[in-house]
């Protein structure tokens, strides 16, 4: 992974060079809608405060739990006994990004949503709250973490979430075979090139032309940047939007030739 200094430099460069999404280069009505109706919408939704209350409780919970180390995503803390508060502080997507996912689900109305990397289920809750008629399938390898996520879903009264426990390497294929079609995927676990490419290929097999894929931490390491470049150049991809901490992938937009945008967020 990049050092904090390298990442900060990259982030500053992104902030300085990214488009605001309204410039001359962007003629696509699809991207115009995305920027104006989703990306820059800062309205509050009723579910936000309740979910953030759960995050706050996790951030103050000093309980130690036994956690398996599954991949590159947990580089911040390596011991197997970790405080819930420390995991919550280092692993969960900040509310700005989780709310963006909530707005995307609300706007595009995907029916079958997949999340790889549940952690304590905070982003899962944002996805599931966006449309109670959608079904959210989320996967987590660590049983102790998954148990806390389930408690959070119960506390929030979310009924449209199914959590699959186990390593993605064994659990993902059977889940995808059962679901047949994925409309929206958020890949937020095991941030390494090879597994990320593998998850992309597997999800693509169950994708439809309107499927949206979101990859987390695409600039976290040189390895992840390579994974992101490979995804961008895949033949099925027609549009990508780089938001630095997340990469969005669209397969069938109104754009008749592939376009890659970097938009400030």
- Cβ nearer to ligand SAM, comparing 21 with 117: 117
Torsion sign across C-alpha atoms 100, 120, 69, 181: negative
Query: In the chain, what's the furthest Cα-to-Cα distance?
Result: 53
Please, what is the minimum distance in Å from the beta carbon of residue 190 to ligand SAM?
Answer: 4
Please, what is the minimum distance in Å from the beta carbon of residue 117 to ligand SAM?
Answer: 3
- Cβ nearer to ligand SAM, comparing 21 with 189: 189
77: which 2 tokens?
Answer: 């803390």
Please, what is the minimum distance in Å from the beta carbon of residue 42 to ligand SAM?
Answer: 19
Please, what is the minimum distance in Å from the beta carbon of residue 149 to ligand SAM?
Answer: 9
CA dist list (Å): 222 to 35, 195, 207, 246: 28, 14, 27, 15
Q: Report, in angstroms and rounded to the nearest whole number, the Rg of the chain calculated over CA atoms.
A: 18
149's CB contacts (< 8 A; 6+ apart) are: 118, 119, 120, 121, 124, 138, 140, 163
Which residue is at the shortest CB distance from ligand SAM? 141
- Cβ nearer to ligand SAM, comparing 33 with 194: 194
Query: What backbone torsions phi and psi does residue 211 show, to the nearest 5 degrees?
Result: -65, 140
- Cβ nearer to ligand SAM, comparing 4 with 256: 4
- Cβ nearer to ligand SAM, comparing 115 with 242: 115
Please, what is the minimum distance in Å from the beta carbon of residue 225 to ligand SAM?
Answer: 18
25: which 2 tokens?
Answer: 């280069």
Chain residues binding ligand SAM by CB under 6 A are: 70-71, 73, 91-93, 117, 119, 122-123, 140-142, 145, 167-168, 188-190
Phi/psi-derived region of residue 68, left when phi > 0, alpha when psi is between -120 and 50, beta in every other case = beta
Q: How far apart are CA 115 and CA 189, in angstroms?
A: 9
In our burial notation (b when 16+ CB lie closer than 10 A, e otherwise), range 79-118 reads eeebebebbbeebbbebebbbbbbbbbbebebebbbbbbb
Please, what is the minimum distance in Å from the beta carbon of residue 37 to ligand SAM?
Answer: 23
Please, what is the minimum distance in Å from the beta carbon of residue 223 to ligand SAM?
Answer: 14
- Cβ nearer to ligand SAM, comparing 110 with 189: 189
- Cβ nearer to ligand SAM, comparing 168 with 244: 168
């Amino acid at each position: 992974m990049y050092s904090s200094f390298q990442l900060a430099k990259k982030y500053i460069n992104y902030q300085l060079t990214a488009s605001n999404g309204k410039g001359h280069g962007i003629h696509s009505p699809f991207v115009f809608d995305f920027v104006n109706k989703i990306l820059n919408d800062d309205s509050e939704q009723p579910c936000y405060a309740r979910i953030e209350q759960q995050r706050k409780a996790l951030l103050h919970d000093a309980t130690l739990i036994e956690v398996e180390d599954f991949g590159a995503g947990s580089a911040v803390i390596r011991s197997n006994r970790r405080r819930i508060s420390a995991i919550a502080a280092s692993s969960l997507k900040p509310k700005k990004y989780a709310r963006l996912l909530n707005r995307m689900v609300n706007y595009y109305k995907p029916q079958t949503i997949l999340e790889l990397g549940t952690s304590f289920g905070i982003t899962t809750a944002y996805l599931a709250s966006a449309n109670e008629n959608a079904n959210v399938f989320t996967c987590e390898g660590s049983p102790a973490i998954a148990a806390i996520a389930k408690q959070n879903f119960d506390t929030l009264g979310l009924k449209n979430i199914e959590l699959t426990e186990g390593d993605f390497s064994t659990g993902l294929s059977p889940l995808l075979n059962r679901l047949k079609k994925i409309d929206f995927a958020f890949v937020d676990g095991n941030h390494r090139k090879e597994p990320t490419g593998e998850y992309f290929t597997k999800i693509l097999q169950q994708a439809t032309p309107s499927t949206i894929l979101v990859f987390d931490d695409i600039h976290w390491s040189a390895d992840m940047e390579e994974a992101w470049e490979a995804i961008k150049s895949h033949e099925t991809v027609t549009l990508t939007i780089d938001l630095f901490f997340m990469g969005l992938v669209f397969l069938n937009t109104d754009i008749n030739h592939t376009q890659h945008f970097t938009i400030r967020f």
